[in-house]
Structure formats: structure tokens, C-alpha cells
Chains A and B, each alone.
Chain A
Amino acid sequence: MSPVLQSSNPGAYTDVTWGQDTTSSPDPVENHTPWKKVLYERQPFPDNYVDKSFLEELRKNIYVRRYSYWAVVFESAVVIHQLCSVCSFSVIWWYMDQDLLSPQKLCGFGLAFTLLGYLIFDAVDKGAGRKESGRTRWRDLKSSLVFVAFTYGFSPVLKTLTESISTDTIYAMSVLMLIGHLVFFDYGANAAVVSNTLSINMAIFASVCLASRLPRSLHAFTMVTFAIQIFALWPSLQRKLRAYTPRTYTCVTFIFAVFSVSGLLSISSVGALLFFLLLISVTFLCPYFLIRLQLFKDNIHGPWDEAEIKEDLSRFLD
């Protein structure tokens, strides 16, 4: 028969005092038989006995990563890039909308930069990536021609597609879509919300919306092409730069940020200031907080955790 419960102290409701001091209660038998953490034996201890080994297997913060400040600052460049992309895209659109920038000019610059980027893309890893994927230049040329032809052909449709929708709705939708693009973009985090396809699609949708408010269909064509360049091609070049030449990448980030802020400055000085502060806080303040808040991490692990299946089990079904 199990012995009676430990004499209930009057303050059975005392606040959390678990830890060492609760083990002081006297053993029913003078330490003859040590308590064992087993259920199949009837032990001469009360059911609510708290042994010294209580919570012995508790582990805290075993998966904590140590961050170094500058490494986190470097990593934040991805976010900066995306913010700047959205910013420059909006600035360019505004210039086009105000007829301060002709579509021919943008088209020309876009083409030049794309070609340059295309060369750098291959030069940076000396063609290793191309060999691996087995993609030929002919195929690249073909797909870009198809894309340009289709966009050009459909640009009058794009231009009139959303004519019946009010401009305010278009603006609201574009803002939402661009925010969505920023949220779902693959910054390298291993999370469920990350979806590259969704992110790119949202950006293209925003560009189609905005393009429809431009004066002519050539404008619309240029705008959509530019969106592809800045939201689809530019990030893949960035990824490669980051992997192979981190220094260049940092420089590019800086130049890009300066370009975007000064572009915004030409439209609105308050907006530029706010954007500048945003960039600064993302680069320097957020990493600082991330590292600071690590100190408060209190993650508990123990035998009660659900076991993780670490191996890849899909191999049995291939």
C-alpha cells in the first residue's frame, strides 16, 4: 500500500518554489532505499514526493545560437535590398507617371543593366552554376525574347485592363501587394510564410496595376519589364554576389541604398528621411535588439518534448 501523502504544509498554495528548497521534506525511511524514477515498483514514498532529482533532466536554451553583431548587420543587407527595390520601383513609376522619364530611356537603361548583370552573373562563379544547371545561352535568349514579345503584344491590354477600377483602389492594391512582396520574400529564413513564387507574383501584380495608370501602352510595357528586372532578376544576381564576393555585395547594397534614398529625396524630403531612418534601424538597430533579447531567452527542453524525426524518410518511398 502506498503510504500517506506527505503532510500537507499549511501553505500548500505557496507560490512557485520548485527547485532545491522543496526537497527538504524528510524521507519516510531514513534513506535506506533511494527513490527511483520508475512506476512499476511500489516505493515507500508518498505519491507527491519530490526527489532531489526532480527536473534534473531539464535543459535550457540548448539550441540558442550565438550571433555576432556585424554578421547580423551583413545579413540584414538582404532586407535592405528588397526595401530599396520597392522604393526605386515606386520612384521610377512616379517619374514615368509625371512624364519626367521617357519609356525609351528606361528601356535602354534597363536593357543595358540587364546585359551587364547577365555577364556578371556568369563571371562571378566562372560559369560553374551554368554548367550545373545545363542551361544554354540560346535558351536564355529564347525565353527572354518570348517574354518581351508577349509583354509587348499584351501591353495595350494591360494598359486598359484595370481602367474601370478606381485609381484609389489601384493604389491601395499596389501598396498591399508590395507589402505582401516584402513579407513573403525569401530572405533565407526557414519559415512557413516564405514563398518565392507568391512574393514575385505579388510584385508583378502591383506593377501591372500601376502600369495601367501610365499614359501609353509603351509605358505599361516598360513598367512591367522593369518590374521583372528588379523583382525577379536582380535578387538572383544578388544571391550570387552575396555567396561569392561578399565585399562587392556590401558595396552594391550601399550604392543601391544611396541611389534609392536620393531618388526618393527628389520627390519628397520627408519620405526620404523616413525611409533613411527605416534603413538605418533595419541595419543597425534591429541586429542590436536581436542580440540584446537573446539574453532573455528561456527555452525549456526535457524528456517530455516530442521527439523529432531527424532522418529523411521519403527515401523509403522513392
Chain B
Amino acid sequence: MVYDQKVGCTRRSHNDSSKTTEATYCPVGQAHVICMVSDFFYPNMGGVESHIYQLSQCLIGRGHKVIIVTHAYEDRKGIRYLTNGLKVYYLPLTVMYNQSTATTLLHSLPLLRNIFVRERVNIVHSHSSFSAMAHDALFHAKTMGLHTVFTDHSLFGFADVSSVLTNKLLTVSLCDTNHIICVSYTSKENTVLRAALNPEIVSVIPNAVDPTDFTPDPQKIRTNKITVVVVSRLVYRKGIDLLGGIIPEMCHRYPDLHFLVGGEGPKRIILEEVRERYQLHDRVRLLGALEHRQVRNVLVEGDIFLNTSLTEAFCMAIVEAASCGLQVVSTRVGGIPEVLPEDFIILCEPSVKSLCDGLEKAIDQLKSGNLPSPEAIHNTVQSFYTWKNVAERTEKVYDRVSNETVLPMNERLERLISHCGVVTGSIFALFVVATFLFLMFLRWNTPDSLIDIAVDATGPKGAWSHKYSCKKSRKTMANAKSGSSLK
């Protein structure tokens, strides 16, 4: 069935029947058709994945149409529908490294063009600078004259050869992107430097956590036993080597101290060795990979949350832990100092000594008993970051972007050459021309008018959607995350 739909004028109406406050709150503005693109989406697990999902749900709740495009995960291919008619395209593209697809800047054009046309997309929102597909989509969207937004979720250094190369590619990818979103101010500074951007087209919109998922355990009775919880992937960047030094040091100082480590990764061997070497089998528990819904239950078993990351743009884990009412001890790296106020977090230098001192301080506070109750902490923290707020702020970016003009071909070429250096610029300008010719060919081969327009999962004019809203969708989120785990 072909359903012709006018984009950008009347789409807000279908939520009027909804009784939730979010839907009636909708400020005046246009409804957008947004295509989220990233290599990272469920069933893969991580911060980017949940960010895309939650943001999309809230945007749908606010009357926009959102689709997600990612690559196929094993047998998960084709089109899937998630809660609230969130449509996900799992495209058959080859995965090259670390769940990121290979890119030639050309081969994905036919597929993406088809999706953009049939879904009547007007804003392409790419996520994560590690995702080749996200950059491809930006590139094609610009060729097709669509508005583009990019969210950067990670930090990157400037020191080695690999970062010099990736930063150059980022410069190319972002030099004509309409707007960029970063998750913290540190991340903004980093991205602005890496891609040589005008800081005014970079917005800071933090991540959020679902406070209903992370609540303290009211049944918990405080005993003498103190448990330190660590929930993270066990990799170098998360500072697991430091943890391997902290565990024996702290266990030596406090005989009633226990460690609970959730997560899996190549550095697990270090923790196992430490446990073996110091005979701490009864005091250090390694839980292995955790599913997302188990995280809360692990967190509430502890009193102190320890984060030893060496680099972090935002760090959801510490917000989740604070939301569960835990004392947080963390390294002072990247955007972490921006995330929680000083009463909730003890910041340390990334060294065993400093982190041990921090833990000691936390234990002293805990023993003295003059800490606010976990419920009090939860109530304060839950007001900090909400997806509703994130969606509103992202919407403003969309509103701004849709009023901007997309650079026409000639200006785009000029910008590439003037902005990215003559050599790199010229090479990519060549790619731009090639993609443009390819697009011309595709348009000649299958004109836009012959491509069927997709029916929304919400039905014509949103007739099938009724009382769903941002809030309700969370209950069913577990379905979307099936097979997810902290690896």
C-alpha cells in the first residue's frame, strides 16, 4: 500500500488523544522524520545503543517519526519493529572490525538512498565516530541534500599516528555537517579540536539514565561488611590494571572489605591472578558478563561504586550507581568531573594510591554514618538526567538544523578543499563527485517517484498508535535488548 504523507506540517496531531503530559506538552515546532544511523545498535550492548533507543522512543513520543538504520547482526537482518513502531533496518553490510562496517563511501549509497526516499527522511542523525556506517550515511545524506546531525560519544587523543588519521577523516566528515552533538563539555572541546569546527555548531546534550531502572534496594540492611562494586567491561581503557593493584591494597587495609566485579573482557585474567595470588576467593567475586537488567541488582548489593576508567566522555555507569544510592569513587578523567556534583562523588587521580585514598575516604564516611540515605541520593540524582530532557534539547537541534540550508554541490567541494587541506580535500572532493554521479545514475535507473513510500508502524496518520508514550515504552524495553550483555 502506498500512503502519501506530507512531511513537516501536521504530524504533531496524532498524539493529541494521548493522556500523558509529555504528549500534550509538545511545543510549537515542526515534526521531523529522523533517521538514526549507527553501526552500534541492539543486540550489541553499550552506551551508544541505549542512547539511540531511548532518544528515538522519546522523539516518537514527541510526535516525530524516527527510524533506525544499522548493519545486520548475524541472523538479525531485514526490518524489525520495536516498541511504539520504532522501525529498525538491519542492512546486509559486511562487518570489518569491532562491529564497524567496511566503507568505500559508495557501496552503501543504493541501500541508504532507498531508505531515505521511502521513509521520506529529512534529517539524518549519525551516532559515534567509530562507526563507518554513520559517516557513510552523513556523506550520502549531504549528497542527497538532507540535513545532517552527528553525535560524538567518545574522546580521542592527538598523540599517535592512528589518531592523526582518524581525526583527519572526522574533519572531512564533519566539515559540512549541519550540527554536532557532544555528550559533555570535555567531549565538545575534544571534537571541536579534532575536526577543526566552529564551536557554535556543536551542542552539548548529556546522556541520560532511566531512574526507574536504577533504584536503591529498600530492604537492604547495613552491616559491617562493606562491598565495593565495579561494573565495567574488563579492558585496558577502563583501568582494570589499576583495579588489580587496588584490590590487594584495600583488602589488606580493611579485613571486612569485599569486592564485586561485574563485566567481562580480556583483562579478567589480571583480576583472577590477583585473587589467586592473595587468596581472596571469599572476598572478591567476579560475576562475568552481566545483562543490562541484572546491573541494578548487582549495584544495590554494594555500598561503594568504583570506576577506574582512564578515559571517558560521559560515564553512564557512575550516574547509574549514584541513582542506586551508592557512594561513587572515580578517576578524574575526561568528562567525569562534569557529571556528578561533589557531594556524590570522590574524584581521584588515576593511580593506585590516589584511588585507595579515595576509597578510604568513602569507607570512613560510610562508617561514620553521616551520609544521606540511598533514597535521598536517588531522589536528587534522578532529577539530573532524563531522556525527556535529552529529547527536548535534541529536538531544538533538529528545529535549528531544518531551517538551515544544506550546502549545494559547488560550495561543498570548495569547503572540503579549503577546510581539510588541499590533498585530503581534493581526494574527498573526487569522492563527492563520484557519489553524486552514482546518485544521478540511481535516480535515472529508479526515479524517486517509483520508490514506494513506507507505511509507518503507527499506521496512516498515526491511527494505530494510541496511548503509547515515552514512559510506557520503557516497560517493554527488555524485549529490544534481548541477548544483550556486558561484554
Point out residues on A near B: beta carbons under 8 Å.
Answer: 1-2, 4-6, 8-9, 12-18, 22, 25, 37-40, 42, 46-48, 50, 54-55, 57-58, 299-311, 313, 316-317
Contacts and interface: CB of A to CB of B under 8 A. Distances in A.
A12 B200 contact: yes
B155 interface: yes
B350 interface: yes
Contacts of B404: 8, 12
Interface string B294-335: 000000000000000011011000000000000000010111
Given A16-B198, A47-B397, A54-B199, A316 B192 contact: no
B189 A302 contact: yes
B176 interface: yes
Given A39-B339, A48-B203, 12 more contacts: A12-B178, A13-B415, A16-B198, A22-B200, A39-B204, A39-B384, A55-B192, A306-B333, A307-B331, A308-B310, A308-B350, A311-B352
Contacts, number: 157
Given A304-B311, A309-B239, A47 B205 contact: yes
B198 A47 contact: no
A312 to B, nearest CB: 10
Interface residues on B, range: 35 or more
B159 A2 contact: no
Contacts of A1: 392
A317 B244 contact: yes
A22 to B, nearest CB: 6
Given A40-B340, A302-B190, A306-B311, A48 B157 contact: no
B417 to A, nearest CB: 12
A16 B198 CA distance: 5
Contacts of B340: 40
26 contacts: A1-B392, A2-B396, A4-B396, A5-B396, A5-B400, A8-B404, A9-B200, A12-B178, A12-B198, A13-B198, A16-B197, A18-B199, A25-B200, A38-B338, A39-B206, A39-B384, A40-B384, A42-B389, A47-B393, A48-B201, A48-B202, A309-B241, A313-B352, A316-B245, A316-B248, A317-B277
List the 4 closest A-B pairs by CB distance, nearest first: A47-B203, A307-B350, A304-B190, A40-B384
B164 to A, nearest CB: 11
From A40, A55, A57, name the one whose CB has the most chain B CB atoms within 10 angstroms: A40
Interface of B: 155-159, 176, 178, 184-187, 189-190, 192-193, 196-206, 237, 239, 241-242, 244-245, 248-249, 270, 273-274, 277, 310-311, 313-314, 331, 333-335, 337-341, 350-353, 384-385, 389, 392-393, 396-397, 400, 403-404, 407, 415, 418-419
A50 B203 CA distance: 9
Nearest to B322: A40
B397 A307 contact: no
- Most chain A CB within 10 A, of B339, B341, B400, B404, is at B400
A4 B186 CA distance: 22
Nearest to A14: B198
A304 B157 contact: yes
Contacts of B199: 18, 22, 48, 50, 54
Contact of B389 (A2, A17, A57): A2
Given A39-B339, A304-B156, A304-B311, A58 B189 contact: yes
Contacts of A13: 176, 198, 201, 407, 415
A54 to B, nearest CB: 6
A22 B192 CA distance: 13
Contact of B193 (A25, A50, A58, A311): A58
A311 B187 contact: no
Contacts of B198: 12-18, 22
B261 to A, nearest CB: 16
A136 to B, nearest CB: 37
Contacts of A2: 389, 392-393, 396
Contact of B351 (A12, A48, A310): A310
Contacts of B159: 299, 305
A55 B244 contact: no
With a 10 A CB-CB cut-off, give which of A42, A57, A305 has the most chain B CB atoms.
A305
Contacts of A305: 157-159, 311
A50 B200 contact: yes
A124 B218 CA distance: 75
Contacts of A310: 351
Contacts of B407: 13
A291 B239 CA distance: 36
Interface centre among A6, A302, A307 (most CB of B within 10 A): A307
Contacts of A299: 158-159
Given A13-B415, A304-B186, A309 B200 contact: no
Contacts of A57: 189
